[in-house]
Amino acid sequence: MKILLLLFTIIIPVIMLYLDRRIDKAHNFFNLFAVISFLIFSIIASTSIYQIIADGDVFMTTIHGLFLNEVFLLTGAYVGVFTIYRLLKLTLEES
């Protein structure tokens, strides 16, 4: 499973870069989806932290329950993959 995660972290940004070069408006979709993903990711994180503070929980394991939220994980994964894609794109444009 760890190997698959590593491979997908490399392969998906390369596919995104390929689609960006082949389809004119692909970068618009990638950017929009990244903004939406980042907003959802941030809202889930902030509301979870607020709830912990409001409840007065002091256990570190309480915040780790956030990692059980599938939407949080999916949006965070896309933000990570998108960041690698943008870095690849920037590197290729500068060279």
Spatial CB neighbours of 19, under 8 Å, sequence gap ≥ 6: 26
Q: What is the pLDDT of residue 86?
A: 97
Is the CB of residue 83 less than 8 Å from the CB of residue 35?
Answer: no
What tokens appear for 61 in the block? Answer: 């394991």
Spatial CB neighbours of 85, under 8 Å, sequence gap ≥ 6: 12, 13, 16, 17, 20, 30
For 49-84, what is each residue's pLDDT tens digit? 898 888 887 667 788 888 999 999 999 999 999 999
Output the pTM of the full model: 0.88
Spatial CB neighbours of 40, under 8 Å, sequence gap ≥ 6: 71, 75
